Structure 1
Amino acid sequence: MGDARQYHLLSSPFRMKRGGELHGARVAYETWGTLSPNRDNAILILTGLSPSAHAAANEQDPTPGWWNEMIGSGKAFDTDRFHVICVNSLGSDKGSTCAASIDPATGEPYRLTFPALSLEDVANAAHEAVRGMGIEQLACLVGCSMGGMSALAYMLLHPGAARTHISVDTAPQAQPFAIAIRSLQREAIRLDPHWNEGRYSDDQWPEHGMSIARKLGVITYRSAMEWNGRFARIRLDPEQRDDNEPFGFEFQVESYLEGHARRFNRQFDPNSYLYLSRASDWFDVAEYGQGDVMRGLASIHIERALVIGVSTDILFPLEQQETIAKGLEAAGAQVDFVALDSPQGHDAFLVDIENYSRAIGGFLATI
């Protein structure tokens, strides 16, 4: 398996929204399809909190990506027509500069000396990478979940940088429920003794904290309807239970969450998780509109937009996507709003490929 990552070296110093700067920083990205001679067929995808830039298989790395069924020849993101780019967020440990990276000033990992990260920084880093490819204007800017907020920041900070926009299961600002969940996730990590103020090591890793954080996330990424349908109150078989452990797992749903947490645990740097999680809470379109979300959205000028939401999403509720759609429309864009009834909740865009393909492929066929 080859490494399909490419890297863009950011301007040095790269100044951060909330103060501080990075030197010699970079972002990782991957591409699919061919850039047209006049560089006007590029689609940029900004990701949720945990995915890498590997959104789909490509020649260098044939392993399936996190949106594999969506990107390729004849798929929703048709690589026969478009040049698709996925940038790994600044602050993520999947190849981009983050809290786990070496600080060139000290030769040690940044850890908690990494500057305060905002989604505006994520957007500016992605924009620099796109400009570095010689692309003046994207044919379409796509943002999923946290990446949808980064995409709004991208368009607010760089007017004219995108012709059209696809907003997927996101929000113009975090609501109290989402902030509360992410706050608990961060607290679980920080209260793990092995976190040690960010100074953990491979043999002293905050596994319990990361495990609880992931379980909380997975619970909110799906809907109650999905949990009922999949697990009901089914109990574990006796041989799957540890009767010597007081208050041990009894139900299948507990075992399922444990499996998810185990698979995630060593796959993501805890400090990077903390930084990106907080950046999601901080982001607020209202900052660009004198405290008013609609006024903030009014300064985004694009030709067309597709806004997709799911009625079962408790993390980024459908009414937040309606707000984005109304705001972009009021600002002069032609907006298609698609409300899906997928039972999978927030994660539907990763699971309900048929409905998302139809909506996204249909929209892109008209731009």
Structure 2
Amino acid sequence: MSLSSDSLRSADSAAEPDCSPRTITPTSPRLSAGREQFEFDLNLRHAGMRRVCLRVEWTGDLSLPALWLAGGISANRHVCANSVDGAPGWWQDAMGPQRALNPQHFCLLACDWLGADGQLDLPIDSADQADAIAYVLERLGIVRLHAFVGASYGGMVGQQFAIRHRLRLERLVSLSAAHRATPFASAFRALQRQVVTLGQTQCADAVGLSLARQLAMLSYRSADEFAERFDQPAEVRAGRVHCAAEDYLQHCGQRYVSQWSATAFLRLSESIDLHAVVPSQIRVPSHFLAVQGDWLAPAEWIAACAAEVSAPCTVERIESRFGHDAFLKDIDRVDALLHRALQTLSSEIAA
């Protein structure tokens, strides 16, 4: 596969985005952090050719080995504080001089997902996200990623990237993501989407979205964590029974509503359930992380996926009271995995 625009060809369509290389030349000298917005036509897997926008941020010099970082559907392009935006990012604790994700050693790139702005109200596939990322790399002049590090939905997109744009990738690191959604997890998300849709029909978008997020939080965390944090008796408040976790869940829902739209949630939730790859088509060295007790991405499913990869592959299982959100909360253990996954290049840099 060529590194020209042919490398961005959709695996299931003859159409492709206009991917002329080097259309945008990064400023010189290159910035230690930066943001860029890219608008382009992309042949979406389930909706045909559409005009899309991908917003990207990077931390670290663009000349350094590049890592693409991708989280769940609510993650965004701001992974850590930098000279462009000093606020903490969604993976702030995973960054730093002693961490595997060190912006002094790597250029760390991330994006706002296609559809995250609520403007793309149509089916979005994980393959579409991978093709959009490949387009952006072409525009930035980055020929090859040292690694795609994806967690949850980001791991799904990373799998698609490894299959569809293999020559652009040295290795895949996939955390808490299997080759497809389990029937039980899909059913749970379908109920969340019905809650959001019910809110829309009742002119109560915020209420529906908040409740859906609260349900989602139950799937991201574990029963053990809730037992540790909220093991207090229910109480009566203003004539109603109130359980100990309700305030926490309501806070999560309200915070989510302040940042996201119902359309964005619906379309990206759907995208998780649309994800499906053939693991044997992954032909780059890969590292998988599975969390015991994570029923959104069961360890058994991840192990089965890893077993079919057509390249050297490692799968690690951990126990974590944070369940699916271990990649966000169990930072030291995740960092140890990332160090092992990236150790070849890290040792070269140290030498």
TM beyond 0.5: yes
Residue 318 of structure 1: which of 269, 275, 299 is its match?
Answer: 299
1:91–1:122 contact (8 Å) kept in structure 2: no
Say whether the 8 Å CA contact 2:57–2:111 is kept in structure 1: yes
2:9 is equivalent to residue 27 of structure 1 = no
Deviation, structure 1 residue 352: 0.7
Q: Residue 159 of structure 2 contacts residue 172 of structure 2 at CA under 8 Å; is this kept in 1? A: no
Answer yes or no: is 1:242 the counterpart of 2:238: yes
Asked if 1:82 corresponds to 2:102, the answer is no
Aligned length: 313
Cα separation, 2, equivalents of 1:15 and 1:180: 28
Deviation digits for residues 133-189 of structure 1 (CA, Å, limit 9, x no counterpart)? 111111001111011111111112112221011111111000011101110110001
Q: Between the two proteins, what is the percent identity of the paired residues?
A: 28
State the alpha-carbon separation in 2 of the partners of residues 255 and 9 from structure 1: 40
3-state DSSP class of the match of 1:129?
Answer: helix
Q: Superposed, which structure 2 residues align to 1:1-367 within 5 Å? A: 6-11=35-40, 13-23=41-51, 25-36=52-63, 41-93=65-117, 100-101=118-119, 114-192=121-199, 195-196=200-201, 205-236=204-235, 241-243=237-239, 248-285=240-277, 296-302=278-284, 304-328=285-309, 331-333=310-312, 335-367=313-345
Q: Is the 8 A contact 1:160 1:301 kept in 2?
A: no
User: More deviation in 125-134 or 180-189?
Assistant: 125-134
Q: Which amino acid aligns with 1:242?
A: A
Partner of 2:17: none
**DSSP-derived class of the 1:44 partner:** strand
Contact kept, 8 Å, 1:166 with 1:306, in 2: the verdict is yes
Gaps of 5+ in 1: 94-99, 102-109, 198-203, 286-295
> Matched residues in 2 for 1:157 and 1:305: separation?
15
**Structure 1 position 205, deviation (Å):** 4.9
Whole-angstrom distance in 2 between the partners of 1:126 and 1:159: 13
- CA 1:5–1:88 in structure 2 vs 1: closer, same or farther (change >3 Å)? farther
After the TM superposition, list the runs of 4 or more consecutive aligned residues in structure 1 that deviate by more than 6 angstroms.
none
What secondary structure does 1:343 align onto? coil
Aligned residue in 2 for 1:291: none
Q: Counterparts of 2:255 and 2:122 in 1: how far apart (Å)? A: 29
Q: CA deviation at 1:363?
A: 2.3
Amino acid at match of 1:358: A
The CA distance in 2 between the partners of 1:7 and 1:261, in whole Å, is 30
Deviations 1:282-308 (A, max 9, x none): 1111xxxxxxxxxx2222211x22211
Flag the 1:53–1:249 CA change in 2: closer, same or farther, 3 A.
farther
Q: How many angstroms does 1:358 deviate by? A: 1.3
Identify if the C-alpha distance between structure 1 residues 8 and 323 changes in structure 2 by more than 3 Å, giving closer, same or farther: farther
Q: Is the 8 A contact 2:286 2:311 kept in 1?
A: no
Instruction: Give the counterpart letter for 1:221 in structure 2.
Output: Y
Q: CA deviation at 1:266?
A: 2.2
Q: CA deviation at 1:126?
A: 1.2
Post-superposition offset of 1:48: 0.8
Does the Cα contact within 8 Å between 1:223 and 1:314 map onto a contact in 2?
no
